[in-house]
């Protein structure tokens, strides 16, 4: 990087008031833990991201430090007044020492906020503050519409509300124009309608939405309707203004009109001209007998009174569930004349609707339609409400998960000349932040337990003790980072999702990107209503950490290979052994308190002389103790105890440490019951004085103590039964006295045996905890600090993936509560979760794909459990640890009663996540021609085997009639075989893989996910294409309207006149210039290197021309 030395020197000599901070500091460079020279006193001046170091206040700057790609390490000690500035570039750290602790803290804050990342954080905070202010103003919107005389004592507006069904839109209507008059006779109109709302007692227009553009007709019929969500403040007194425009310059219309004030009409020279407008009251439409209004369009001018009539506009009230009669013959005959224009957005609106960008992606994705036209597919079951469960009962739990729904309404013709209505809904989810916060809290508790277990190892030899101190220091640092992240997330307010522009923020790295529910509700004439759900989310990946060295898949493989070569420093344990050690520790923490509580219950039953209670307590105690004993029946515990013994001070090693293979360990497990065949553990050193059979005796004492308790209880119950038969005819008062005396005898006889059981269990727990903690110490010590950084990265990716999975499971459970076949499949087999990836295997996206593959694979360790909600809080509860989590989903009592008995009893529900990825963008073209697609091929092949495994399990455990009548087993088998052939074919951009995987998922009642880098452009292309294909194949969408329906769903124009400044995805006002397009297909230019150079030069020239 080049700088002008003279300008920097002038900047350093500016007056003191021009700097952000200045003062005396002691500074030196540090490499590792060693200072290169002693700290020297310097006068430091901070301006922006430049830190000037001067010998004194009046001298020239001797050094300039650029505060980019660096971070501040502040020491937590109360007496320490120094900080260290670390650089990502690898240059020596900068040691900074202040005069006092407050001064040190002030410099730490100033330096931390000086770089561009600190500036971005400030911008994000200001954006969130703006969003909060807007939300507060919106909540008081109704109060501003009324004068004080029309507000009641409670401060609520006195307006007539619209009757509606709970959680349904307040108002929906469709539009059509007839007899529009053009300025010139020969001109064909390209029209659309701008919908604006005039609130009661106000005279200011608020633009609400727009229809699509219908091209080439004077009688346009708009497929896009208007819908007002439940929370929108609309009443019968509300007025709606409909303004019709004729589009001239179609390429600039959506851009130039999006930045106009609400009360101003666009100029005629900006690409469209005003044709006419009409206004109606909502009450007139709702109360009309035919639920239809025919309004006169008038062109208002200063010279004419009342305006000139330019046509009529029809407004039809829409109610999902009621059919609309229309002139379908007129629609089909004029289908060739009416052309629908799809506007490509400047930027996706992450708060609402999906949109499209590049025609290059369209060509690749629309190959899927050929296949869909050939096969009759069943992608969803009929959706009907179960008896005894109303929509209101379903609302509380769903509203706890979903929020800010945004709807779009369409009407499309069917092949038999009928109308079908489609309501497209996109909603945010509160789980975007709830699940990561719960998960981070569990990580903190787990890491604190691990650190304490390492401290409880006792006295160790100097080598091992130094290793332990180093591990604990690094773990404490990571623990502090988790705590800081949780604190920052706790401060978050505003939107409940993370936009794509925030994917590089450190404080939000655990949050999934653009997590939304995309739902299509279809009401067709001859079929029952159907729901089609797709969860859209950005690929789970550690964007803040970057992908310079690849993603998790590559990093984990490289780390494991390097860790095998560090056996001279520590003992190598395989990943399976370390996972087993974590499982043993988890079982100890779970079972020990349970056994103690059941033992106390047993003594309580003995003191009360209750035979039935005594039997039940003994049964529970026996079951938990057997699980406890079985948890330690592993060679790993025995070998770890020996390793820990040799690590104690004063132990003389007689045999060096030699790594041992897992095959030898499994061989020991087979012969551990034969003393003559026991092999010595070669992965740890041995000591001649260590008694290897001591652990077996301690471990066996627990079982022996339990047998003594069982024998004593049996003896007591037998005596009790015999005494009752002999003394049945004796004096009752004497019998009562004997019962009381016997009760005392029971407690006195069981008490010492129970205490012995607890003591034996305590000794086993102490030894097992220390041995397993020693195994974890080896894992951490062999890979510091990479091990902890990989754990952090994996936690970040898993957090993003888990948030989406929990959302998908809850939505699927709510929509399928009435489906007994699905519920049986859920607890018998498990739930299939299919991820559709659209990432390329080129550059950074290859690293994202590696992260995503590991994160989705880790979801196999997640189990779900459905419980009855005990309060009004329906958010899921997360328990467990790394490698094993249980998600408890809460349902209201009425919904919980609909579940099968197995699920009610708390049976854990398994997940089967699969990922199929096909890159479709220009970067994938580069990867296929010049790069490597092996990663994508391996991922698809591995997940195909997982999908086959689920299918085989499904066919074994489920009856053939569990699927709808049109989904036969042979059909599924054929689709699987076809998918296998397409994966083996290794064709370029083979989108057939996505179509087949999605079809199989829906046939198997699975949950669908669609992911790309940010869940915007490529995701929207895929989802909208899938929705239109479903309408065509399942609901008989008219063949001439397929492309037009697709254009409507992808049109930015139909999303309303949303100002770019109000777009939470962009957060800033964009230029009025249209977005630049790639005029030259990359695939064509890659034919030769000369053409590629020409293309690069032309593209650079276009960019320079744009920004001049």
Residues annotated catalytic, as ranges = 1012
Q: Kindly give the pairing relationship between strand 21-31 and strand 909-917.
A: unpaired
Whole-angstrom distance, CA of residue 649 vs CA of residue 446: 29
Burial bucket for residue 430 (CB in 10 Å: 0-12, 13-18, 19+): middle
Whole-angstrom distance, CA of residue 742 vs CA of residue 752: 17
Whole-angstrom distance, CA of residue 985 vs CA of residue 158: 67
Structure tokens at 1082: 């990359």
Whole-angstrom distance, CA of residue 821 vs CA of residue 811: 17
- Tokens 């922006």 found at: 48
Whole-angstrom distance, CA of residue 840 vs CA of residue 989: 10
Alpha carbon 674 to chain centroid, angstroms: 51
Under 8 Å between Cβ of 786 and 559: yes
- 3-class secondary structure for 451-500? HHHHHCCCCCCHHHHHHHHHHHHHHHHHHHHHHHHHHHHHCCCCCCCECH
What phi, psi does 929 have (nearest 5°)? -90, -40
Whole-angstrom distance, CA of residue 425 vs CA of residue 519: 5
Sort residue 1078 into left (φ over 0), alpha (ψ -120 to 50) or beta.
Answer: beta
Q: Kindly give the pairing relationship between strand 50-54 and strand 61-66.
A: antiparallel
- Tokens 């506009």 found at: 313
Q: Which helix (H) or strand (E) holds 1024?
A: helix 1017-1035
175's CB contacts (< 8 A; 6+ apart) are 193, 211, 222, 225, 226, 242, 313, 314, 315, 316
Cis peptide before 785 (omega within 30 of 0): yes
Helical ranges in 97-153 per DSSP H: 101-112, 116-139, 141-144
Whole-angstrom distance, CA of residue 647 vs CA of residue 642: 9
Number of Cα atoms under 13 Å in the Cβ half of residue 1076: 12
Each residue of 481-492: b (16+ CB within 10 Å) or e?
Answer: ebbebbeebeee
Residue 1008: beta bridge partners? 834
404's CB contacts (< 8 A; 6+ apart) are 351, 427, 428, 496
Under 8 Å between Cβ of 831 and 911: yes
Under 8 Å between Cβ of 209 and 346: no
Under 8 Å between Cβ of 439 and 486: no
Alpha carbon 832 to chain centroid, angstroms: 17
Whole-angstrom distance, CA of residue 343 vs CA of residue 161: 35
Transcribe 251-283 into DSSP letters.
TTHHHHHTTS-TT-PPPGGGSEEEEEEEEEEHH
Query: Residue 65: which of 15, 103, 12, 23 has the closest Cα?
Result: 12
Q: Which helix (H) or strand (E) holds 395?
A: helix 391-399
Under 8 Å between Cβ of 159 and 282: no
Query: Residue 244: which of 317, 311, 149 has the closest Cα?
Result: 311
Kindly list the distances between the CA atom of residue 730 and the CA atoms of 416, 448, 726, 832, in Å, as whole numbers in the listed order: 91, 63, 8, 67
Number of Cα atoms under 13 Å in the Cβ half of residue 988: 14
């Amino acid at each position: 990087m080049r700088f002008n030395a003279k300008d920097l020197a002038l900047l350093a000599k500016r007056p003191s008031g021009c700097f952000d901070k200045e003062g005396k500091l002691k500074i030196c460079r540090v490499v590792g833990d060693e200072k290169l020279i002693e700290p020297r006193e310097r006068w430091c001046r901070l301006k922006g991201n430049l830190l000037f170091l001067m010998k004194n206040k009046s001298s020239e700057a001797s050094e300039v430090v650029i505060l980019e790609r660096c971070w501040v390490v502040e020491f937590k000690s109360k007496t320490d007044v120094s900080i260290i500035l670390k650089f990502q570039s690898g240059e020596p750290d900068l040691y900074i020492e202040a005069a006092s602790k407050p001064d040190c803290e002030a410099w730490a804050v100033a330096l931390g906020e000086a770089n561009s990342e600190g500036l971005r954080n400030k911008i994000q905070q200001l954006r969130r503050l703006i969003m909060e202010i807007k939300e507060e103003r919106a909540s008081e919107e109704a109060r501003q519409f009324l004068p004080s005389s029309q507000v009641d004592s409670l401060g609520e507006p006195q307006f007539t509300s619209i009757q509606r069904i709970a959680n349904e839109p307040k108002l929906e209507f469709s539009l059509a124009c007839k007899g529009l008059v053009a300025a010139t006779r020969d001109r064909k109109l390209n029209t659309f309608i701008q919908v604006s709302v005039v609130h009661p007692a106000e005279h200011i227009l608020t633009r609400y939405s727009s229809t699509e553009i219908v091209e080439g007709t004077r009688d346009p019929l708009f497929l896009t309707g208007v819908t007002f969500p439940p929370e929108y403040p609309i009443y019968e007194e509300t007025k709606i203004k409909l303004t019709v425009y004729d589009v001239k310059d179609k390429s600039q219309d959506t851009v130039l009109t999006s930045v106009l004030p609400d009360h101003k009409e666009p100029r005629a020279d900006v690409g469209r001209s005003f044709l006419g407008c009409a206004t109606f009251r909502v009450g007139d439409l709702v109360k009309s007998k035919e639920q239809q209004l025919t309004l006169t369009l008038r062109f208002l001018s200063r010279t004419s009174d009342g305006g000139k009539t330019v046509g009529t506009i029809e407004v039809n009230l829409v109610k999902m569930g009621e059919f609309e009669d229309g002139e379908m013959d007129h629609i089909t005959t004029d289908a060739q004349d009416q052309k629908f224009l799809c506007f490509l957005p400047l930027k996706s609106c992450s708060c609402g609707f999906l949109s499209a960008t590049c025609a290059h992606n369209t060509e690749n994705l629309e190959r899927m339609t050929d296949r869909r036209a050939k096969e009759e597919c069943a992608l969803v079951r009929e959706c009907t409400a179960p008896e005894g469960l109303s929509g209101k009962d379903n609302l509380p739990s769903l509203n706890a998960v979903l929020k800010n729904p945004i709807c779009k309404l369409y009407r499309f013709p069917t092949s038999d000349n009928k109308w079908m209505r489609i309501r497209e809904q996109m909603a945010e989810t509160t789980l975007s932040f709830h699940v990561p916060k719960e998960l981070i809290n569990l990580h903190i508790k787990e890491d604190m337990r691990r650190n304490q277990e390492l401290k409880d190892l006792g006295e160790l030899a100097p080598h091992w003790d130094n290793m332990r101190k180093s591990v604990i220091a690094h773990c404490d640092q990571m623990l502090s980072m988790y705590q800081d992240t949780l604190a920052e997330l706790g401060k978050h307010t505003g939107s409940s999702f993370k936009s794509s522009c925030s994917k590089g923020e450190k404080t939000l790295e655990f949050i999934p990107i653009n997590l939304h529910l995309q739902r299509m509700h279809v009401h067709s004439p001859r079929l029952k209503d159907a729901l089609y759900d797709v969860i859209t989310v950005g690929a789970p990946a550690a964007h803040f950490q970057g992908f310079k060295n690849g993603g998790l898949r590559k990093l984990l493989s490289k780390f494991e290979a390097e860790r095998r070569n560090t056996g001279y420093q520590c003992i190598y344990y395989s990943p399976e052994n370390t996972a087993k050690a974590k499982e043993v520790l988890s079982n100890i923490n779970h079972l020990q308190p349970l056994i103690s509580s059941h033992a106390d219950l047993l003594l309580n039953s003995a003191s009360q002389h209750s035979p039935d209670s005594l039997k039940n307590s003994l049964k529970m105690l026996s079951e938990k103790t057997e699980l406890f004993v079985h948890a330690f029946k592993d060679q790993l515990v025995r070998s770890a105890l020996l390793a820990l013994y040799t690590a104690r001070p004063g132990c003389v090693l007689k045999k060096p440490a030699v790594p041992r293979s897992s095959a030898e360990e499994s061989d020991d497990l087979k012969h551990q019951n034969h003393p003559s065949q026991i092999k010595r553990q070669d992965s740890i050193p041995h000591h001649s004085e260590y008694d290897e059979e001591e652990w077996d005796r301690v471990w066996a004492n627990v079982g022996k103590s339990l047998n003594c308790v069982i024998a004593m209880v049996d003896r007591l119950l037998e005596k009790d039964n015999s005494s009752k038969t002999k003394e049945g005819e004796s004096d009752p008062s004497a019998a009562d006295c004997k019962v009381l005396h016997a009760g005392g005898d029971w407690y006195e006889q069981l008490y010492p045996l129970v205490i012995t059981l607890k003591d034996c269990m305590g000794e086993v727990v102490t030894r097992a905890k220390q041995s397993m903690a020693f195994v974890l110490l080896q894992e951490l010590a062999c890979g510091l600090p990479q091990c902890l950084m990989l754990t952090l990265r994996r936690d970040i990716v898993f957090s993003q993936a888990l948030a989406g999975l929990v959302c998908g499971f809850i939505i699927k459970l709510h929509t399928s509560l009435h489906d007994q076949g699905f519920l049986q499949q859920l607890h018998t087999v498990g739930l299939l979760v299919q991820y559709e990836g659209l990432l390329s295997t080129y550059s950074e996206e290859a690293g994202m794909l590696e992260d995503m593959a590991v994160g989705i694979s880790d979801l196999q360790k997640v189990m779900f459990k459905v419980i009855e909600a005990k309060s009004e809080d329906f958010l899921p509860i997360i328990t467990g640890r790394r490698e094993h989590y249980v998600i408890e989903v809460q349902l209201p009592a009425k919904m919980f009663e609909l579940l099968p008995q197995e699920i009610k009893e708390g049976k854990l529900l398994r997940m089967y996540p699969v990922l199929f990825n096909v890159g479709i963008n220009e970067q994938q073209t580069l990867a296929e021609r010049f790069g490597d697609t092996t990663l994508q091929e391996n991922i698809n092949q591995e997940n195909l085997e997982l999908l086959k495994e689920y299918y085989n399990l499904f066919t074994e455990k489920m009856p053939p009639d569990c699927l709808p009548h049109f989904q036969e087993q042979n059909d599924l088998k054929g689709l699987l075989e076809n998918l296998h052939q397409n994966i083996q074919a290794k064709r370029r951009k083979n989108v057939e893989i996505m179509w087949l995987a999605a079809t199989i998922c829906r046939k198997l009642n699975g949950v669908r996910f669609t992911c790309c880098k940010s869940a915007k452009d490529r995701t929207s292309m895929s989802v909208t294409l899938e929705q239109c294909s479903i309408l065509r194949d399942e609901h008989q969408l008219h063949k001439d309207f397929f492309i037009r329906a697709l254009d409507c769903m992808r049109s930015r124009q139909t999303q309303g006149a949303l100002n770019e400044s109000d777009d939470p995805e962009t957060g800033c006002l964009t230029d009025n210039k249209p977005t630049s397009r790639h005029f030259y297909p990359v695939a064509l230019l890659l034919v030769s290197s000369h053409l590629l150079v020409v293309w690069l030069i032309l593209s650079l020239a276009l960019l320079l021309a744009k920004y001049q």
